[in-house]
Structure 1
């Protein structure tokens, strides 16, 4: 048992959201109690004490849409012309990167991404993977890295038609094999979903195969949805219906499904998302980088749709994603009053609801019985900090690299910026070697 205390404690618990000098008592992988440091220490005298030294204590961050396969693109040069649109980006970058990954490179992409996530205070990652020439065992390879490091993760393989029927069926099998292996286990660290790339890379026949594949499995789908105008135009041209309408006709939407982006959706599609209880994930930096438009996230939220926040592989820092989500909507709407409440809602409330569809333990909050996913961040506020303004302090005062201690499932994974579960230097050295090999092949 241990106590993390002597810090400004944000719990995200509605009853006791903030303690000026707070502490969290942990036994096993659960939070036993939160409260004032002196009271918690007096009650649990035998527990190890982890002194936050006046820093900020809060629940670990959650990323509900990521792409581990994109890790080795960092720093890579290309001899292709500069992309003119979203399809150029896919065809000349991402669909070349994912085709060149082997299992060894997938392993080190996963290790490197998870390490950087932990160092940015992220304790749960939902990933959407692709490696068409190395489909078999790709999810299991990523899961092995997650287990060794000690991070919580939900994985899927993005099935598509773009590499032919054989690879499509390999992707379906990888998803279902992984789901059957991990989701039926009595463990709360690794789970699976059924991944699909996007409507425009899946025929009607392929959608039918995907739906049939998870019959009887208690999972949903993880799919890019109306991210770029190309997806919408393809759906209207081929099927005479919009993207969300098409997915709904196949029974793909629902409470356990993540419809990523949902940028090019209309009022009718929003109503479908609401009626089906489908989860949506907003990825502001990726949307800006790909120039696909600004998500109608505020409109979706106003309708009562659960919109979470992810990174889409653009960064491993959810504090960074929070900052951009806050300003992109102000900029697009030319209204400085918007997104103040909606941004922390997406990150701290709605991401928790998405996680709860797959993991037990009230993840993303620090209260009795919740999962012991805790971070300590180096932050000494220059103005008063309390239960009414701590989101403003997080927004303007913190970044991922402020985090110096990360605890996941009751285990200290990083302390004083040092990863304890694996040899970080060795992994990053190997990552540089394997990424160079991939670059040379490309």
Structure 2
């Protein structure tokens, strides 16, 4: 051991699923981490000779994989979990969610809701999320406090809220927030115009200009429901995507959320321009929005990541169940059992989401030099035994409760199922306090 290199952390595991190369399982390998980055991935027998670590983890029944990337959520809406269930989208929004938000949403609401969401995501193996909501600085502060990576959406919408008075106010506040927090290592930023039915052409044009100048992703709900398309045809004589394409929105920085109602030509158009899809299968089902043609999207060459949406329309931030549902639905819609194999489902929940956010050089797979965002999943439970193929087991059998350890940027955030820094009891009290405030408005 005289020539051993000193590192911060050495993790030994029964399996490693690095995502890159695709469909790869490494047996009895270890990951060395130093300075927040992966230094090496190598057989455990070699790792013991090559490295001496300040922190050792020997996980003999576990698989290591990249942290999950939740490509679309509204974290603060955790405080509205189950508030108005079993309703179609526009009735849900106009009759319940928007009035509740008008009454309750504030910096405190957003910060508290986002902290609860960050904790739920971390404990379930999500290490990065892409958010869209009001008071985005409060979401950013919650993410930093919780030690989770976040892409913070600078929301833009054409009507006034407690957060901003008009589109210029939304943009100015969002950009000022980005300037203040741009040096935070766990944060990145997107421009987040809400949807074609809440954002005007003039506002979209401003968003496109800023996105081009600052090289930012554009995160927008698009083609979520059939009604959205019907309304667009009536108002603009165009389907929403055609309108946005004419404005110049399609490109490699576009993240189209939901994209349930895309025809073949529209899928080809988005693929041609290198755009990305945030697929939210549980939310699409719960709001009866429809079945996204995911197998067809993949066949067109589209990069498709997975999101949970907010807990008000899901009702949980569980990327394991989302990944399984995405794979099964794709097979059923395509009438093809091979339409979305397990290793592609894992890639959608990790690397594809990172790629959509422009973060794939840093996260989404386990490679030397990348940030050490990774999770350990215990596969020695009855529901994951026997384990013939760890990739298949992760995609179809494992649950978020089997995530035992979570590292973000090399920092251990969940250790043997317990938070290392967050106080779960305090978070539960916070949730109950907000429930008592919101409940009388039902």
TM-score by length of 1: 0.89
Which residue is 2:175 aligned to? 176
Which residue is 1:338 aligned to? 339
- The 10-residue stretch of structure 1 (153-162 or 120-129) with the greater mean CA deviation from structure 2: 153-162
Among candidates 281, 292, 295, match of residue 295 of structure 1: 292
Q: Which whole-Å deviations, capped at 9, do the CAs of 1:68-125 have from their partners, x for residues lacking one?
A: 13211224368xxx63x32112112332333221111111101000000000010011
Rounded to whole Å, the distance in 2 between the matches of 1:223 and 1:159 is 10
Superposed displacement of residue 361, structure 1: 4.6
Rounded to whole Å, the distance in 1 between the matches of 2:370 and 2:225 is 38
Alignment of 1:151-230 (within 5 A): 151-163=148-160, 166-183=165-182, 185=183, 187-214=184-211, 216-230=213-227
Which residue is 1:133 aligned to? none
Unpaired runs of 5+ residues, structure 2, are: 1-7
Unpaired runs of 5+ residues, structure 1, are: 131-137
Rounded to whole Å, the distance in 2 between the matches of 1:175 and 1:309 is 25
Q: Which whole-Å deviations, capped at 9, do the CAs of 1:367-416 have from their partners, x for residues lacking one?
A: 2111101211121253354xxx3321112321111111111000011112
Superposed displacement of residue 360, structure 1: 6.6
TM-score by length of 2: 0.89
Cα distance change of structure 1 residues 212 and 56 upon mapping to structure 2, 3 Å threshold? closer
Which residue is 1:111 aligned to? 115
Q: Which whole-Å deviations, capped at 9, do the CAs of 1:346-378 have from their partners, x for residues lacking one?
A: 2244223224x1x37531211211110121112
Superposed displacement of residue 243, structure 1: 1.0
Preserved CA contact (<8 Å) 1:263 1:295: yes
Rounded to whole Å, the distance in 1 between the matches of 2:395 and 2:90 is 33
Among candidates 336, 352, 355, match of residue 354 of structure 2: 352
SS at match of 2:330: helix
Alignment of 1:37-48 (within 5 A): 37-48=44-55
Preserved CA contact (<8 Å) 1:158 1:223: no
- The 10-residue stretch of structure 1 (290-299 or 262-271) with the greater mean CA deviation from structure 2: 262-271
Which residue is 1:309 aligned to? 306
Rounded to whole Å, the distance in 2 between the matches of 1:97 and 1:152 is 28
Which residue is 1:134 aligned to? none
SS at match of 2:175: helix
Cα distance change of structure 1 residues 210 and 362 upon mapping to structure 2, 3 Å threshold? closer
Superposed displacement of residue 334, structure 1: 4.1
SS at match of 2:202: helix
Rounded to whole Å, the distance in 1 between the matches of 2:333 and 2:362 is 34
Please say if 1:257 is aligned against 2:254: yes
Please say if 1:88 is aligned against 2:77: no
Q: Which whole-Å deviations, capped at 9, do the CAs of 1:153-200 have from their partners, x for residues lacking one?
A: 0011432224489243332223222333344x3x53101111111111
Rounded to whole Å, the distance in 2 between the matches of 1:396 and 1:15 is 18
Preserved CA contact (<8 Å) 1:152 1:189: yes
Rounded to whole Å, the distance in 1 between the matches of 2:198 and 2:293 is 23
Rounded to whole Å, the distance in 2 between the matches of 1:162 and 1:296 is 32
Rounded to whole Å, the distance in 1 between the matches of 2:264 and 2:339 is 20
- The 10-residue stretch of structure 1 (174-183 or 322-331) with the greater mean CA deviation from structure 2: 174-183
Among candidates 46, 66, 73, match of residue 66 of structure 1: 73
Which residue is 2:263 aligned to? 266
**Larger strand fraction of residues:** 2
Rounded to whole Å, the distance in 1 between the matches of 2:84 and 2:299 is 42
